[in-house]
Structure 1
Amino acid sequence: MTDNNNLQALANSGVSVWLDDLSRARLTSGNLKDVMENSGVVGVTTNPSIFQAALSNGDSYAAQVAELAQAGTSVDDAVFAITTQDVRDACDVFRPIYDATGGKDGRVSIEVDPRLAHQEAETIDQAKALYAAVDRENVMIKIPATIAGLPAITAVIAEGISVNVTLIFSLERYRAVMNAYLEGLEQAREAGKDLSTIWSVASFFVSRVDTEIDKRLDAIGTDEATALKGKAAVANARLAYQAYEEVFLTARWESLAAEGANKQRPLWASTGVKNPDYSDTMYVTDLVADNTVNTMPEKTLQAVIDHGDIRGDAVTGTYADAAAVLDDIAAQGISYTEVTDLLEEEGVEKFEASWADLLGDLQAALDAAK
């Protein structure tokens, strides 16, 4: 629930607002419940960088760290225990939303160890382990959309586990993600599972596309190149929504829908605006579309509350213009495939680096608590 007109306008347009942050302090202070009850937030996403930041501010974790240290817990098992507890507790906070929406929202996401991003079998095993450890219906397991991640997505969906697919940058990979989801549903159907209980979102990353392409446009430096700055990310995401519309109108999908299957919603991720010259709400206002999720860092959420200009659907009907933007960027000699491949590689590397920092900080805390 929210009294804010901007957030209500998003909800009325079919956009679910999820918070891209979680920490023990948010849970124990009541802040997480407050943003759910008063700021229109109906879900939570986490990632390795979020947990690294949370644990670096470690006072609220001291008691659990001391307990784990006394038990001689390894650093990998300790981080597993700490993060799954935060997600379990957040799932409990959001359970009323989950119940009220029939499982669509009220979701909390936790990501597999980023070091497994290119390991299919290990990703599947850890997804199952995370699901069992959190032990809440409204958890979503995040799996990266790497080549190894695609069959893992299918396998985990086939087990009846809801999945948040992360680190999607390219339209080609997004279509492969949707195919992996449908394959998982088909396998679940063959196994006799209730398809209506399986949900998924596909996290299509936004701001990083502009950051990388703008850098290349700046290097070109012509008026034509400069005029294209700040346009690539929204265009890319709008074309992703076009792909979503196409896939979820096919006969293949309709056969699954007839048995209760749920559409895999597009989720706009990385929606914090990096360039101060741009509107700080552009990756929200310009991507309003039905049956989508926008997961926002708190700074972006507060900007939307304060001055977000929500004017309904900003996506359907824009596809020709969006394709023209990407064509114009390609005409400048910028390779779309090169950019999206780089962003995926960098995305995995950034999460691995955050995880390494998290493990280092936690190991030091465990040693100090012995």
Structure 2
Amino acid sequence: MTSTPTQQLSDAGVSIWLDDLSRTRLDTGTLQKLIDEKNVVGVTTNPSIFHAAITAGTDYDATIAAKAAEGASVEETIFAITTTDVADACDLFAPVAAATNGVDGRVSIEVDPRLAWDTEGTIAEAKQLYATVNKDNVHIKIPATLEGLEAITAVLAEGISVNVTLIFSLERYRAVINAFQSGLEQAKENGHDLSKIHSVASFFVSRVDTEIDKRLDAIGTEEAKALKGKAGVANARLAYQVYEELFSTERWAVLAEAGALPQRPLWASTGVKDPAYPDTLYVTELVAPGVVNTMPEKTLDATFDHGVVTGDTVTGTYEEANSTLDALEKLGVSYNDVVALLESEGLDKFVASWKELLADVEGALATARKAS
């Protein structure tokens, strides 16, 4: 039997997670099909995904009508819908979680994005989400803002598994790993079994190219054009170098000895935005042992259909990756400026999606109240 590209990716140490979730996927069996046929071993969600799912059709009408009859607020209604979908997805992935000792089979749910700058609010909501979903294989997603770092440590210290999201810069990624290791140190002091605490660090890829390519086009020289489409992969490859470095320290060895598992790098935003680039660019160029690639279905299908997996394409590329970022700086493309802008824009997009979702569900609740 011919090995598929997604099987080859899995064999190379890449866990494939789907960047999407909806009631339709759960009820029709299409998510189970992706597990069975395309090596999908986890799911990530975000405010934009839930907005698309809840407003796409009639799947949630009955729940919204029931919540309207109860007199539930819009926030309570959305909380109930999203935690139910995530809990059901956790059940679907439970066999994968069991087979991998909880490393895979994970489903992520994000704290309200409006809390991204509120440490205490993030901690409180993370605990509430964890208690409500009430599944061992859930990941609570927390943005890697400066305020989020402290929350990440505090939530991990409670024995709760965390997906750290919206990481763009290498400096912030170092701070995320520090927050993770601090959280595990506190969890150990609190008597938690470290082998049961899992974490991924979601490093965003394609958006880096989108912003940098725009700046390279504005420069317009041949030298600038030659660097298009290279920054996203280079940045992610250097993140893997940071991962290798910080998970081979004496500090980490002490935690590993106590049963801790490393926080895996997760490649997010892996759908190609520029049609000039191969549609599997952010998959086949970021193959390395122990990483996760969370893909929109379009990227997953492209990879399954024609992805060329040649083994590890990350380790050993660090000098070339550094040269790419150095060349961009020489042309006047500021790395620090780009990553700061991308974090700000990423948060703004999630907050905007959440506000749209609140408005749409508020409207649906009002309609349901009138109908009853």
Q: TM-score range by the shorter chain?
A: over 0.9
Counterpart of 1:148 in 2: which secondary structure?
helix
Counterpart of 1:110 in 2: which secondary structure?
strand
Task: Report matched runs for 1:188-199 at 5 Å.
Answer: 188-199=187-198
2: CA distance, partners of 1:361 / 1:54: 12
Structure 1 runs (4+) greater than 6 angstroms displaced = none
Please state how far the C-alpha of 1:5 moved relative to its aligned partner. Answer: 1.6
What residue number does 1:310 align with? 309
- Identity score, percent: 64
Say whether residues 1:60 and 2:59 are aligned partners.
Answer: yes
Q: 1:3 to 1:91 in 2, by over 3 A?
A: farther
Task: Report matched runs for 1:82-97 at 5 Å.
Answer: 82-97=81-96
What residue number does 1:28 align with? 27
Query: Normalised by the size of structure 1, how large is the TM-score?
Result: 0.99
Which residue identity does 1:250 align to in structure 2?
A: T
Say whether residues 1:81 and 2:83 are aligned partners.
Answer: no
Please state how far the C-alpha of 1:36 moved relative to its aligned partner. Answer: 1.1
Question: Per-residue CA shift, 1:142-184, capped at 9, x if unaligned?
Answer: 0000000000000000000000000000000000000000000
Task: Report matched runs for 1:119-158 at 5 Å.
Answer: 119-158=118-157
1: CA distance, partners of 2:309 / 2:363: 46
Q: 1:14 to 1:239 in 2, by over 3 A?
A: same
What residue number does 1:212 align with? 211
What residue number does 2:280 align with? 281
Which residue identity does 2:25 align to in structure 1?
A: R
1: CA distance, partners of 2:241 / 2:29: 39
Which residue identity does 2:69 align to in structure 1?
A: Q
Counterpart of 1:16 in 2: which secondary structure?
strand
RMSD: 0.8
What residue number does 1:9 align with? 8
Task: Report matched runs for 1:316-327 at 5 Å.
Answer: 316-327=315-326
Query: Normalised by the size of structure 2, how large is the TM-score?
Result: 0.98
Contact 1:271–1:300 (CA<8 Å) still a contact in 2? yes
What residue number does 1:234 align with? 233
Please state how far the C-alpha of 1:58 moved relative to its aligned partner. Answer: 3.3
Mark the runs of 5 or more structure 2 residues left unpaired by the alignment.
none
Say whether residues 1:338 and 2:332 are aligned partners.
Answer: no
Task: Report matched runs for 1:241-256 at 5 Å.
Answer: 241-256=240-255
Of 28-37 and 284-293, deviating more is 28-37
Which residue identity does 1:183 align to in structure 2?
A: S
2: CA distance, partners of 1:4 / 1:22: 27
Please state how far the C-alpha of 1:39 moved relative to its aligned partner. Answer: 1.3
1: CA distance, partners of 2:96 / 2:334: 42
Counterpart of 1:187 in 2: which secondary structure?
helix
Mark the runs of 5 or more structure 1 residues left unpaired by the alignment.
none
Paired residues, number:
369
Say whether residues 1:295 and 2:294 are aligned partners.
Answer: yes
Please state how far the C-alpha of 1:3 moved relative to its aligned partner. Answer: 6.9
Of 259-268 and 51-60, deviating more is 51-60
